[in-house]
Every structure is written in C-alpha cells, then in structure tokens.
Chain A
Amino acid sequence: MTGIFSYLVFFACVVLIFGVLALGLNLQWGFTGLFNAGIVGFYAIGAYTHAILTAAPQPQYLGNLGLPWIVGILAAMAATALAAWVIALLTIRLRGDYLAIATFGIAVSIQLVALNWEALTGGSQGLSRIPKPLSGVFDTPLAFNLWFLFLLAVIVGGIYVALERILRAPWGRVLRAIREDETAAVALGKSARRFRLEAFVLGSMLMGLAGALYVSFIGFVSPFDFLPIVTFQVWAMLIAGGSGNNRGALIGALVVWGIWSASGIAVTKVVPPSHAAQGAAVQVILIGLLLILVLLYRPRGLAGEAAVVSRHAAD
C-alpha cells in the first residue's frame, strides 16, 4: 500500500510539472490565440539554465556552477523570458500556422544546440548530479517526493491564483478581445502587438519554470528529454482539459498523463510478456482512442471556457 501511495505521489509531481507547461500554453493559446508549437524549446531553455547553474562542478564543463536551487529556478525563468522576448520580436507578427511553423523550427534548433554544445550542456551524454532541493533533509525517496509535491503544489497554486487574477483584470480581457477579433481590438486603441508579446513571454516563462522544476526533480537532463513529442503531449493536455480555462489545463495534465500511465499498466496486466511488443503498440492506439473519445464527448474539453461575457451581464 505504501508502494502505491509512493507511486501516486511521484505521479502527481509529474502531473503538476506538466500542469505548469499546460498553464503556460493556456495563456498563449487559450487566451491570446498564439499557436506556439515550440513548447519544448522553452522547456529546454529553462531546464538547461537550471542544470548548468546548479549541477555539481565538473572540470570538463563550462557551467556546472553548483549554485543554490532557488537561483537556478529564478535564472531559468529569466533566461526563458529573455529568449522568448527575442523570439517574439522576430515572430510575433506571424499569424496562426505560420507562428506554429516558426516556433516548431526554433524548438528543434534549441534541441540541436543542446545536443551539440558539449562543453556547456554535456551534449548527448547529458548533465547529471543536478542537486534535488533539500534532498539531504528528506533522504528517502518517498519523503523527498512528498516534499517536492508540496513545493510543486505551492508553486502551481501560486501560478493559478496569479493567472486567474490577471486574466480577469483588464489585461486579460484585452487578450481575449485580440483572440476573438484582433481588428476590433486594435480599433479600440489597444496595441495588439504589445499584448501578444507580453502573453507570449509570460507563457514561455512558465514553460521555462517547468523545465527547471523537472530537472531538479529528476536530477538528470539530456537532449532526449526535449523531443517534439513533449509539445504534442502538452497540446493534448490543454485541448482535452479545456482551452481557455486554467482549471481545464490542470485537469488535462492529470487526465492525459493518467491515460498515458494507466494504459501502460493496463496493458502489462492483460498482455503476457511474450506479446509485450504488440501490447505496447495497442497502448499507443489506446492513448489516441481515449483522446479522441474525450474530444467527441467533450468537444470544448473536460472543463471548457466559462461562457460569461461580463460579470455584470446578469444585472
């Protein structure tokens, strides 16, 4: 029983990290309509910034500065925000699928830089010995995971409250106005470019934070963590959970990652090891099928966007 509990704690940590990614995407796509197909690129920048700053020193690497955890987290957010700002300056005028292609390409390039800049990122060998926060105090796996879950819950809770706050504020209403009808928003005197840029940078910064949290949870980072599949998973989470709703983004992270894990468990329970290869293929089909079912029965996601026009509409 403690084993199951221990596994669920670990599972919940991964869900919350994905949740941060989904919240970042929700700000960009759900509220502003920015089609970011390069999530994994920002995730990677955050992850590597954190790893390079905090990992235990090793002579063959430029980085590995052994700085405290919190410095790594803040620097990861700053570095991702800076990178997102530069990228946004170049691409923010692109609409819809054009932005998607540009960001996708950038994410792939970032992964290749991580793979090739060996002196800094460890290249394909990856960087290990990334300290886990307070792992000396919480020295059993379960104690550490519980502590990390608490930490994540606080961080995700904080992000959630802050996002809800700013999205209900005039700033958030402008984002929605731009998403619905950019021309109309501009006609009202709002600078669409500025708001799109702000939403893009803020959302990407959350993705960078998720990357930093991920590496300090796992303790290892390599370019294999940043393949395009991650971008797809986060999109699936947001769409299945409910685009335009922060709660939906978090539910999506839980449900989609739950489907991923539970289908794997289910397959090993039903299929004997001699047919594991076929079973694994069935698992992939199952994941796709469940996602399609969610969308068929809940086309706006499990928790869709609240259809309130104005708080005062009912008055």
Chain B
Amino acid sequence: MRGWIRIAVALASGLLVCAEAAAQAACPVKIGGVLPLTGSMAPITKKIAQAAELAIDHVNQGGGIKGCPVQFILRDDQGQPTVGVDAAKYLVEVERVPAFTGTISSGVTGPIISSVTAPSKVVQITCCSTASPFTLDGRSAGYFFRTIPTSKTQAYATASETTKRGLKKTAVIYVNTDFGTDMLRFYKAALTKLGGEIVIEVPYNDNQASYRAEVSKALAAKPESMLLIGFPKDAVTIVREWLSLGGPRTIALNNSMRTMDFVNGVGAKFVEDFFGMDNAQVAGPQVDAFNKAFEEKFKADSKGPGVHTQYDALMVMALAMNIAKDLTGPSIKDAVRLVHAPNGTPVGTGPGEFKKALELIKAGKPIKYFGATGPIEFDANGDVTGPALVWKVKDGQIVTDRTITIEEMQALFRRIEN
C-alpha cells in the first residue's frame, strides 16, 4: 500500500517538476506541434517533421516572432487519439502555446479540435487532415485551419473534367476512409449539378488480395467510365481486374495515382485513356526556393505528402503571430486571415522573404503570402482552395494535360455551390 502511494507521488511530482520548468519565460515564443512520429504513419511523417523544422529555422533566421526567437515543441501522437489529445492538452495548458500545428490522421485531429483547441481558443493549423466535418459543422469555432486543399477542390475538378469529356454514366469505386467518402460526396454533388450521373458507388477496404467482387458489382451497372478514388497499390489490382473483365478504358483517378508505380503496375499501354487530377503545385520562385532549401538541409528531395503544406502551416502561423496585436488565440485566429491580404505586397518562402514580411508588418503594410504550395488564402471555413491540374499518361510518361487556374476553380465553386 505505502509502496504504490510513493510511486504515485513520485510520478505526479515528476510531472509537476517537468511542467513547472516549462511554464516560465515569455521569450522564446513557443509553438507546439503534434505529429505521428511513430506508428503506421511514421514513414511519411519523417519528411513532414523535417519541413516543420525547416520552417522554424526560416522564421528564426528571418527575425522570429515579435522580436523573440521561436521554440518548437513537437510531441508524438503515435497515431492514437487519446495520446494525441493528451499531448495537445499538455502543449496548451502547461507549455501555454497559443497556436500549434497538427496532426495527420483525421481520427486524431477531430478529438483534439473538440476537446482541446476549440474550447481553449487555441489556433490549430494542420498540414494533412482532410475530413470535412471539422471545418463544416462549426465545432472548431473558427480556430481550425488547414493548408492542404480539401478533397473538395479535387472532386469538383474531376467532375468538371468528366462532363467536359462527355462521359455521362460513371461508376465510382472508392477507398473507405474519410478521404474516399469525402471525395465521393463532393464529386456526386458537383457531377449532378454539371449534368452527369453516378450509376453505382462501390466502397472498398484497402490491402485485399482481390477486388473482383467490387469490380463486378460496378460493371453490372453498365457505366461509360469509372472514377477510382484510392491509393496506388490497391488501385493497380482494381484497374487490372476492371480491364480484364471488359470495363471501359476511360478511367478517372485521384492525385495519389500520379506516380510511375501505378502506371507501370497497370501497364503503360493500357492507360492512354486515363486521366487524373492533382492539386497544382504552382510553379514559381517561392516553390523552388523551398525545394532548394529542403534539399540543402536534409540531403533529400522534398517530394512527399504533406511536406509543402506543413511548411506553409508554420509560416502562416508565424506571420499571423507577428501580425496579431497580442499572442492570444483569438487575435492570432483573426490575423491568419490577413496573411494573404488582397492588396498586400507579395512575400514568399525562405528567411529573406520572412524578414521582408516582418518589415512590412512593422510598417503597418498588408502582406500577401505565397507559400510552398502557392497562394494561401483561407475561405470562411478555414480551408484553402488551390489550382488543380489534369494529368494523363503519354508514351509511358505522366504529363500535365492542362491546368485549372485558381480563377477557373473559383468560378467552378460558384457554379456548383450556388
């Protein structure tokens, strides 16, 4: 009995001591981060965490936040909601961070919003969680932003391209995750508005040996084309089965399939009539500057999911914290909207540009941030829209068919949503 009391007391006081040491000092300014550094997401998180580190370096080299250097405190959520919520609560309450970035899995981001950031009025910017309810149902109270274009952009663009190609009856086979169901929902809404029709919707679970049942079910509805929403490994299996069962060769694909693994897996000669979508990485000096800085620091290329959006998440946060009149959640939340002001002076990525932005902010002038993923402008929900591109395969290579500019995209949004 006395033994365990001692252990409990030791544990609690250990927590207190750790926490106490952290709670003091106004300079440096703290920014929190929660990412799945271990667990099933760990392979893609490595580069995302590096992008975050690079952003913090650039902020510090460019002058920090309100004259203070920035200290980044990164916690692991292990891909588990309870662990992520605990880490976020610790950052908010003990470390007193007014803003933090994270996380990747929507199943972890959701509980963090509802139990930590929204009630405590702390700004949360994610690089990677795309599930729609976070921003749509009002739970986040405006404190949640994401720098990754949601599946909406891609879904609308795909629907527009489908009808443009004169394909009326489409079968949709989609991966049963928040990403897949979101894509389907937005695609459906857009396609009906634009005059197309979904003849059947078939969900699939990943990592199966065969998808013959799903494919047969989709083909039974006699579609003219298929939209496949998923990830390359399973998509190869599905497309091969689809073609071998005599399905039409006009297949639309989402961004994940824009890789040679997919093209080679299916066989380059079969994919000439396929078309796909992706968020267009706006080319330009600010994108190149980011890629170059990343390659120099980590001796690896910057390709990969979430890398560019994570960098932007932290740059937007740092700029907003400089613009905000004080470092409280409500002020920062409002300032996030001023990072890409309509009549602002353009600023880009890297420490030099950050410094330039600070000078403009100090002079009371508006700024317009162009990040590693292009212009970062949040809509009323805290989501970004971006330009998209249509890609296809020609002579065994993935090529860009055409680009849908941000203006065209906004027009498309108006047409579908009004």
Contacts and interface: CB of A to CB of B under 8 A. Distances in A.
A241 B228 CA distance: 49
Contact of A264 (B75, B96, B105): B75
B113 A220 contact: yes
A264 B11 contact: no
B86 A273 contact: no
Contact of A262 (B15, B20, B105): B15
A203 B57 CA distance: 52
B296 interface: no
Interface in B152-187: 176-178, 180-182
Contact of A276 (B37, B106, B177): B37
Interface string A1-12: 101101110110
Interface of B: 1, 3-4, 7-8, 11-12, 14-16, 18-23, 33, 35, 37-38, 42, 45-46, 49, 52-53, 56, 72-76, 78-83, 85-87, 89-90, 93-94, 96, 105-108, 110-111, 113-116, 119-120, 131-134, 137, 139, 176-178, 180-182, 203, 205
Contacts of A91: none
Contacts of B22: 269
A251 B131 contact: no
B287 to A, nearest CB: 24
Nearest to A298: B3
Contacts of A259: 11
Contacts, number: 188
A261 B90 contact: yes
Contact of A218 (B1, B16, B111, B203): B111
Contacts of B73: 268, 273
A262 B119 contact: no
A307 interface: no
Contacts of A269: 18, 21-22
28 contacts: A3-B96, A4-B16, A4-B20, A4-B94, A7-B93, A10-B93, A58-B137, A123-B176, A123-B181, A124-B181, A125-B178, A125-B182, A126-B178, A129-B139, A220-B113, A222-B111, A223-B107, A225-B107, A258-B11, A264-B86, A264-B87, A264-B90, A266-B18, A273-B53, A273-B73, A280-B78, A303-B1, A303-B4
A45 interface: no
B83 A280 contact: no
Interface in A199-257: 217-220, 222-225, 227, 229-230, 251, 254-255
B98 to A, nearest CB: 12
B262 to A, nearest CB: 23
Nearest to A294: B7
Contacts of B132: 125
Contact of A268 (B3, B45, B75, B120): B75
A144 B115 CA distance: 11
